[in-house]
Structures are given as C-alpha cells and as structure tokens.
Amino acid sequence: MENLWRDLQGIYVIWYRDVLRFLRNRARIISSLGQPLLFLFVFGSGLSPAMSRLGAGQLDFTAFLFPGIIAMAVLFTSVFSAVSIVWDREFGFLKEILVAPVSRTAVALGKIAGGSTVALFQGAIILLLAPLVGVHLSLGQIVVLFALMLLTAATMTSFGVLIAARMRSMEGFQMVMNFVLMPMFFLSGAFFPLRDVPLWMDILAQANPMTYGIDPIRQVTLQKSIPEAVLETIRLHPIVTDVAILAVIWLSLMVVAVWIFNRQE
Amino acid sequence: MNAIEVHDLVKKFGDFTAVDHISFDVRQGEIFGFLGPNGAGKTTTINILCTLLKPTAGTALVNGYDVLHHPYEVRQSIGLVFQDPSLDDQLTAEENLQFHAMLYGVSRRDYEQRSREVLELVGLSDRARSLVRTFSGGMKRRLEIARGLLHHPRVLFLDEPTLGLDPQTRRHIWDYVRALREREHITIFLTTHYLEEAEYADRIAIIDHGKIVALDTPSGLKRRIGGDVVRLQTAQNSEAMLRLRTNLQTDVLLDGNEIVLRVPQGDQIIPAIIRTLGAPPPIEVLSINLRHPTLDDVFIHLTGKAIREAEANTTEYMRQMMRVHRR
Ligand SMILES: Nc1ncnc2c1ncn2[C@@H]1O[C@H](COP(=O)(O)OP(=O)(O)OP(=O)(O)O)[C@@H](O)[C@H]1O
Ligand SMILES: [Mg+2]
C-alpha cells in the first residue's frame, strides 16, 4: 500500500517535470509547430488543385490534410518526449531518478504520462487552426478529438519509451527518426487516403499504429464539414474499430516498454 | 550495527572482474574513504551499494538492509552525489530540490525547512531561484551535495565530490562535509584519488584492480611504511651524531651534509633533539626539517606505482576532461 502511494507520487513527479520543462521552453513549442504548419499550408495549397477529385470533388485537400497534421504533431512530440530519456541518461539526471525509492515501472509510466500530455498540448495548438482551413468543430467534437489525440499520444510515447529504454546515445535516435518515424508518418494515411494503394503499402499501413490514430481523428474532424457519403470514401474503419485496435496496440506497447525499462541496468 | 557491511563482494562485466572479492565494514558516523586510481572499481562498488548495479556474488548491507532484497529501503536511507553531474540544468536549484523531495516522499512542510537548511549549508541560498544552467561547476557540485542531504539520509555517498574543481572550492566542499558530520551525524562514504583529501577520512580503504590492498586510519597507513624522517644540519655533524646516537637510541645516518633520523613519531623527537644538542657545550643547529610520509608514499609502497602514474593514460584523461567540461 505504501509502495503504491510512493509509486503514484513518483509517476506524478516525472510527469510534472516533463510538463514543466515543456511549458518553460517556449522556443521549442513554437519551433516544433513550424514543420506541421509548413506541411499544412505549403502542401495543402500546392496540392489542392491536383487533388481536386478527392471525395468526389467535395473535399478540399487542405481540410483533408489537417487531421493528418494534428496526428503528425502528436506523433513527433510523443516520440521526442520519450526519447528525452536518452538525454537524461547522457546528462546524468536519469541516475537521480533511478536511484530514488521509486520503482522502474513508475518511472516508465511517468514518462509515458508526461510525453502524452505534452503531445496532447501540441495537438491542441494545431487544432486551434481549424477555422483557417475551413473546418468547424463543435464542443462535442473537440472533446472526442482530445480523447483520440491522447490515445494516439499514449501509444506513440509508449513506443518511444520502448526504444529509448535500450538506447545509449543520441546517434541511435537519428537512425530511428530516419528508418521508423518518417515511414510511420508517410504510411499512415496522413497525406493521402489509403484506398486503392499497392498491396505492400497496404500491409505496411495496416501494421502502422499511426494509421489507427489518424483514421478516427480525420473522421471526427471532418464529420460536420462534408457529407457522410464522402466521408465513407476516405475512411478505413468505423471509429469504434480504430479505437479498439489502437487501445490494444497502446496497452501492448506500454507493457513491453515497462518491461524493457525494468530490465535495464 | 554498522552503516555498511560488505562481504566478499564481486562484480564482473563479462569476463572482466571490476570488483574482486572485497569485504569491509563502515561504522556509523564515520568518514570512510575509498582511494584508488582510475578504473580501480570505486564507482562500481558505490553503484552496487546504492542498488544501481547487481552484484555478481557476495553480500552488501546498507543501514542493515540487503541491497539485493531490500533495494527501496536502501535507497530511502541513503543520499548520493554521483561522479558525473546529475542535475536537471533546465530547472532552477529550488526545483531540483523539490523534485528530489517529492521522489523521496518528503512532506511539503519538511521540505520548506530542509531546503532552506541545505541551501544555507552549501552557501547557495541566494541562488535558489536561478536556473542550474547558469551555475559554475563548483556551485553545481554543492547543489548536488545539498540535494543528497535533503531527505535526511543516514549514509551519504560521495563519488569523487571534488573532481575537476579548483583547490579553493575543494577546500570549501571539504569544510561542508566535515561540518555535516558534526551537525547531521551521518556516515560518509567517499571516493577520491586526491591523496591529500583522503587524509580527512577516519579510515581509508586503498583499492587497486578491484581488490582492497589496505584498510586503516590515515596515520595507521603511514606508520606501515615506517615513520617520519627528520633531517638536520649542524655546525659539527660528527659530534652531533655521536650525541644523538647515545641519547636517543635511534638510527642516525649522514646524507651529504645532513643528518637523517628515521623515527616513528617525528614531532615528539624534535624537542629531544634540541635538548640533546643544546646541552653544554651546545652544538649550533643550522636547520631542521620533518617530513611525514604521505599517502602517496603509502600508495607506492602498497601497489608499486604512484597514483598519478597509474592513471596517466590518455583515454582516462579525455574522460576526465569531458566530465569537467560538462559540469
Ligand atoms: N558497465 C560496464 N561495463 C563494462 N565494464 C565496466 C562497466 N562499468 C565499469 N567497467 C569497468 O570496471 C572497471 C572499474 O570501473 P569504475 O568506474 O568502478 O572505476 P573507478 O575506480 O570509479 O575509476 P575512476 O577513478 O575513473 O572513476 C573499469 O575498468 C571499467 O572500465
Ligand atoms: Mg569512478
């Protein structure tokens, strides 16, 4: 009982530190918005004419891209936050945490909670841009979107912690970026509907957790902006199915991340 | 109960034995020094004692708790200052302390009082709200010591607390450590490879290649290598030697124009020398000097190499430089 209380406190401390560091670092908040915005407005505007057939001509490409960009912000922030474990290792702070009377499980869960919160913040900031791309959201939609972003963030942060638990240097992280994160982003349906794509791409996309984050986020975001029938043509699964699959992936990744984190010396 | 009890401890990394069957006890309230060259196994031993590493064999008790079976109790009861810096430098000094307090379950009210106390102890009260990034190496080190004390540990581990610091800061840190022992009655386990610092300890274990080669008080260790050396010059050396031999019953040698005496307690023999030579007819003493053996001498005696020599190795040097820069 006492152990449980101590571990809850530990989770809270580690979560709080991540959030505090995030809020303090305004420069990082702004600079990390740069890339998503660039994608949204440059790709959005540039490709809109070419993509005019999208959704039987009733769906503007920028609006289509918008949910993908939200997910992108969530994905990158999640993984970056988790990988701060590697920085902490390099700069010594991780030792201070590991030698405290708090279980490794609490440390890993605190890190997942912290990264998810920070990623949720970033996603929410992008969400503020909805009116600029002609998407109107009701309060109900916003609440559901927050829940979906949080689930996506928790999944991706668990994935990040899983990688970071074994990583000893920042060089390794660059490799993960190039070989895992970028493909994950491009093969998630963020940029184009995953309908009528080659089989290899379909397989990779189905295996990609992000796919199940973006699909429901897009459906909820565009719910009120385009007709049901049009939405049918770009979605992959019903929202409930997406959420169920994503939740299973999240729990599995989290369990494995905690396990690996417990095993490190 | 001893503060630390180590029995036949072994740590292997693959085939390499970093800690090789060591045993020792640290008494409560003692300053216990671990002295040895780079790579001797000092940090590895501390990492085992603070539960960061699991021993390959042997047992270790800290405050009566087994490091393998009761790691949380061990952690709760110790404070640590690591060899490498371990502060979050994007946070303020106060925030670093606050996180520590929360991790160790220090209540809010205790925290207020304790943080004020420890910051004062290390002379950082006026910088509590500054970002750690803006601190000098010495200030960071002091803050780490303050943090290590925040939760009232019964044993404080200091892994090379003064590495890479200037002599003045080193002296300051030593003053804190000794003041601490007085005020907080805690046990201090520290490692160093500065021989002059090891003299501050109550007892010293000399460790080399993972083995303890000697364990004694600083003066005990010095006695092992055979006492002090007194050298003196007089106006009539041969007459003086004759008198000293008969009156003091010690070995008296002539080295150039100096008389050399090898004695167990140099400071006690000097008055006797003066009395002997001052007796009529007095012999004029031109100079007299006393040299205590240093731990350097002890180290050479025990391991066959000077401690500086043992670590004059480029990679280690680079490692040390990097550490200093990262402070
Ligand atoms: N994780 C590890 N894996 C493999 N070898 C290690 C590991 N940690 C330490 N060693 C080796 O164990 C030996 C003892 O290292 P340790 O860090 O305990 O030395 P130390 O006495 O603290 O030296 P220093 O004065 O340089 O801090 C060294 O030879 C080191 O290379
Ligand atoms: Mg060391």
Residue B103 and residue A91: Cβ atoms within 8 Å? no
Residue B85 and residue A91: Cβ atoms within 8 Å? yes
- The predicted structure's pLDDT at residue B327: 43
Question: Which chain A positions have a beta carbon within 8 Å of B43's beta carbon?
Answer: none
Q: What pLDDT, in 10s, does the model give residues A54-68? A: 766 677 888 888 999
Residue B39 Cβ contacting ligand 1 at under 6 Å: yes
d(CA B269, CA B117): 46
Residue B323 has pLDDT above 70, yes or no: no
d(CA B161, CA B173): 8
Residue B317 Cβ contacting ligand 1 at under 6 Å: no
Chain-wide mean pLDDT for chain B?
Answer: 85
Confidence (pTM)? 0.82
Enter the ipTM: 0.84
Residue B43 Cβ contacting ligand 1 at under 6 Å: yes
Question: For residue A96, what is the nearest residue in chain B, using CA coordinates?
Answer: B86
Rounded distance from Cα A122 to ligand 2 centre (Å)? 41
**CB hemisphere CA count around B117 (13 angstroms):** 15
Question: Which chain B positions have a beta carbon within 8 Å of A25's beta carbon?
Answer: 90
Looking at chain A, how many residues does it have?
A: 265
In the block, residue with structure tokens 């205590």:
B292
Is residue B210 within 8 A of residue B22, CB to CB? The reply is yes
d(CA B135, CA B227): 44
- The predicted structure's pLDDT at residue B62: 95
Q: Which residues pair with B188 in a beta bridge?
A: B31, B156
Angstrom distances, CA of residue B129 to CA of A196, A239, B90, B98, B176? 59, 48, 12, 12, 22
Question: Which chain B positions have a beta carbon within 8 Å of A95's beta carbon?
Answer: 52, 82, 84, 86
d(CA A256, CA A122): 26
Ligand nearest to the CA of B19: 1
For the four alpha carbons of B106, B107, B109 and B112, in that order, the dihedral sign comes to positive
Q: What pLDDT, in 10s, does the model give residues B190-229? A: 998 777 778 889 999 999 899 999 999 988 887 777 778 8
Q: What pLDDT, in 10s, does the model give residues A167-225? A: 887 787 778 777 888 888 888 888 888 888 888 988 999 999 999 999 999 999 988 88
The 10 Å CB-count burial string (b at 16+, else e) for B224-242 is eeebbebbbbbeebeebbe
- The predicted structure's pLDDT at residue B185: 83
Mean pLDDT lowest for which of A143-157, A174-188, B39-53? A174-188
Nearest to A256 by CA among A169, A176, A180, A158: A158
Structure tokens at B265: 């307690």
How far from chain centre, in Å, is Cα A242? Answer: 15
- The predicted structure's pLDDT at residue B158: 92
d(CA B89, CA B80): 18
Residue B94 at interface with chain A, using a CB cutoff of 8 Å: no
Mutation target to probe the A interface, by most A beta carbons within 10 A, among B11, B86, B97, B327 is: B86
User: Which of B52, B75, B90 lies closest to A21 in CB terms?
Assistant: B90
Phi-psi label, residue B41: left if phi above 0, alpha if psi -120 to 50, beta otherwise: left
d(CA A191, CA A43): 9
